[in-house]
Each structure stands twice: as C-alpha cells, then as structure tokens.
Amino acid sequence: MAVIISTGFILFDFFLIFLAAFIGIFVHYKHSYQYWKKKEVPYLEPTFPYGNNLYLFPLASTFAGESKVWYDQLKAKGHKFGGVWSYSRKVLVLVDPGYIKDILSLDFNHFIDRDVYCNEKHDPMGTHLFNIRHSSWKALRQKLTPTFTSGKMKMMFDNVLHCADFMINHLEKCANVGDDFDAREVLASFTTDVIGSVAFGVDCNSFDSTHAEFRRQGKYLFEIDLPILLKAVMVNSFPDLSRKLGVIVFRSKSKAFFAGMIKETMEFRKKNNINRPDFLQLLLKMNEEYKDGKPNVTFDEIVANTILFFIAGFDTSSTVMTFSCYELARNPEIQERTRQEIENVLGKYDGKITYEAIQEMTYLQQVMNESMRLFPPLICLARTCTKDYKLRDTDITIEKGTPVVISTFGLGRDAEHFPDPERFDPDRFSAEEIEKRDPYIHIPFGEGPRNCIGLRFGLMQSKIGLIRILTNFKLSISPKTKMPVTIDQQRFLLKENNPIYLRAEKI
C-alpha cells in the first residue's frame, strides 16, 4: 500500500513539474506574442505553439519554405516589412528591396551573422565560412577569397570538363535503351565528381556504383533521422542554449570520413611532391604558410571549409542544372535557342569548350538566372542583428539577437517584380530588363560582404554541365514526372518533392 501511495506521489510530482513547465512555456509564448504589437511593427497573427511556422517539427535548422508564406502574406497587406514568430522566437521579415539592401550591404555591420547554427567551441570541424559568427568570418573570408579568383577558376576548368565525360557516357546509355533519367540524381552525381576532384583531389565516377562512395556520403549528409530531427528542433528554437549544451548537428561519421580523406591526400601529396590544380592544393599551400607562429589555415579549417565546398558545390549547382534542364525540356523552343547560341559561340573556338567561350554565352546565363528566379537554390536568406539597429525612415529599433529573413523564393515569384511569374522566360534577364529592376530583387546567392564566395565556381560548373548535355542531347519531360513539380518547404536548400524524370535523345 505504501509503495502504491509513494508511486502515486511520484507520478503526481511529475505531473506538477510538467504542468509548471507547460504554464511557464505558455506564459513565455504569451509574453513573446505581444512583442511586435508593442513595438508597433505590422505582424502576422501567431498560433500557439507554432507561432507562424508551418510545421511543429521542422527538418531545417534555419528558416525554409515558411519564409515565402510570410512574404506573400505581408506583401498582400501592403507592408514593406513585418514581424512573425518562429515558435516563440521574434523574427523580422523583409519585403521591400530597399530594406533588403540596407541589411545585406549598407548596414551590414549590424547584421554580420547568418542565422545558421554554429558551435565554434565544441565543433571546430563544423565551423566554416557559411556559419561562422561575429568578427571571425572576415579573417576566414580573406584567407579563402584568393582560391576563387578568375585565375583559379581557369586552373580548375579542365578538371570540371573531364568530370562531365562520366555524365555524358551515362546519358548515352540511357538514350540508347530509351531509359528516362532522374535529373537530380544524374546532375548531383556530376557535381559530386567535380567536387571530389577539385576539393579532395580524388577521381571518382559516381555513375559507377563500385566507385560511388562520395555520392553515398552526399546523400547521407541530407538524410533525416530522429536524432537529426530533434537537434534541428533544438537549435532552431533555442540556439544559444544549444551552444552552451554543446549540441552538434553535423554527423560525426561524415566528418570522420572527410577528415580522413583530406589527411590521407595531404600526406600522399607531400610525400610524393604532387601538385594538382585544385581547391585542396590551394588550402594545403596556406596550411604550410605561417603567420605569428601559426598556420595561415589550420587543418580543422581545411576540413570544415572543404566539407562546405562539397555540400554547397554539389547541391546548389545540381539544383540550378536540374531546374534549368526541366524548364528547357518543357520549353523546346527555348531549348533550341540555347543550343544554337552554344554552337555559335563554340564555332569561334574551334568547337572547344573554354573558360573564355562560356563567358560569351549570355542567353545560357539568362536561362540559368530565370531558373534560379523560379527555383532559388537557397529558399531564403537569414541574418541575425548583432547590435541594435534603427530601421530606416521609422522609429523602430531592431534589437540585438533578432533574426531577419529575406525570402528569395517570394521575391522571385512576386508578380510586381516579374509579371506572369509562373511563366519561364529567360528574356526577363536580358541586359535591358535587368537595368529596369532593383538589383536586390534577384539575389539567389545573396548580396553584400557575405554573399556566396563560390558563386563563380558554381556557375562555371553548371554552365559546363548544361553545355555538354545540350550539345549531345535533346531533352523532353518523361511521363513518369508528377506534374506540377512542387517544392519541399521544410528544407533550407531547395528540393523537389518528387523526382523529375527527363528523356534524352541523342543529337
């Protein structure tokens, strides 16, 4: 009897603790939900406990598809900016390109940090140029900038061109037997081969299942399981507490794989005096250069930023190419016009694809820009206010620690900026049309001091991939593709909900 009573008291105690916690959270939320109203900022009405989020358990550790919903709702109400809540976190959403320019460029010193989780203390190999915080980013950016000059792009050009051979051979096999192909899978395999070559110094054929370890690692990085999901919720809702608790989001097994690969390559090159024209070689040289008794770039920095280059290089570029191919397959007249330009330009260079030749392919660039307008590789850009900031032409002060969100997805599909926004029309990005628009409307790779450092490399490999495909094949949509194509709004990096299958016909 005493045991039963004791157990009852224990359960009752747990109930009281749970009730107290729930009441505490509810009071916290209720107080938080008055925040934007008190500051006289236009806002969207929140709902407990989501706030204005779309999902209770988001897959992304930062903002994703909900940012477009917020943008559209605030735009419909005629607001240039507005407040929302991500659960209980106060978030400012920008709609007007003038304010976007302020935050990304003119007043950048108030918004140095990206709103992406980073744990410098407990996870140095997970701290890279994309997520590093405070003043540390500038020194790291200065170290890495020389690796992305035009000269370095030319140096890596032939490596990228060679990697496209595996993709073309695979597509030829598909064309010969009449098989459809999964556009993302094929293009991600190509970009994985490219990054494997220029970032890790490894010749890998991801189209050969016996040599596809890099492709398997690329897929593994984006797999969602329960531990990753719970960590995403934790760092999204309580980033400061997560840092104090030492929460690490990046998979340790992946870090160990890449760190081991880099260490092995470094040792092999030093021992055999090998010098390759690639990204890793440039970092190795920096590692051997000392400043104030320390290497210019540490081993941890090499690992972290090579992993970043791997993720950004294979995923964002494959996204650009996937949707460019998809839209070209849907619009055969645009596809033919693009192919004609490619052939005309290559004719000036004896049929050879060169770095100079791809710079002349202006319509191809327009096709890619229009694809990124509709399907931006990064669904949104997010910054954190690092010191109190007064919003221009208002009496509103954005407090330190407040996330500020810009929906690239929303901007690209805004009918005010792009009439008939669902229509694919590369002429929107002719020189004349670009001149008419505010430059902060189309920002798929960000803008300002923290824009994408690898932008030119990403565009280079995407152009090479598209040129090789279009000079060898005519593309069409497979009946297997579920139309219309929809986007997974839970992911920070843009991804379709269902595979996009295409058909390649040999020219």
Summarize the annotated binding site for heme as residue ranges: 452
At residue 277, the 3 state secondary structure works out as coil
Between the alpha carbon of residue 463 and those of residues 164, 171, 225, 411, 506, the distances in Å are 11, 17, 34, 24, 19
First vs last Cα of the chain: how many Å apart? 85
What amino acid occupies position 287? N
Structure tokens, 292: 């104030």
Closest CA to 342 of 329, 360, 356, 330: 360
What amino acid occupies position 304? A
Sequence ranges of the binding site: 452
What amino acid occupies position 230? L
Between the alpha carbon of residue 232 and those of residues 53, 61, 63, 237, 476, the distances in Å are 14, 5, 11, 8, 38
The continuous run of DSSP H or E covering 469 comes out as: helix 455-470
**Alpha-carbon distance 492 to 131, whole Å?**
14
Cβ neighbour number for residue 109 with a 10 Å cutoff: 10
H helices then E strands: how many in the chain?
Answer: 19, 12
Beta bridge partners of 406: 94, 381
**Nearby residues of 187 by Cβ (< 8 Å), 6 or more positions away:** 167, 317, 318, 321, 322, 325, 465
**Nearby residues of 367 by Cβ (< 8 Å), 6 or more positions away:** 324, 327, 328, 334, 338, 426, 466
Which sign does the torsion angle of CA 179, 185, 188, 192 carry? Answer: negative
- Strands annotated E in 376-500: 380-384, 389-390, 397-398, 403-407, 473-477
- CA 410 distance to own-chain centroid: 16
CB 466 within 8 A of CB 491: no
Half-sphere exposure of 221 (CA within 13 A, CB side): 21
**Alpha-carbon distance 174 to 211, whole Å?**
19
CB 104 within 8 A of CB 96: no
**Alpha-carbon distance 424 to 370, whole Å?**
7
At residue 206, the 3 state secondary structure works out as coil
DSSP letter at 377? S
**Alpha-carbon distance 361 to 341, whole Å?**
7
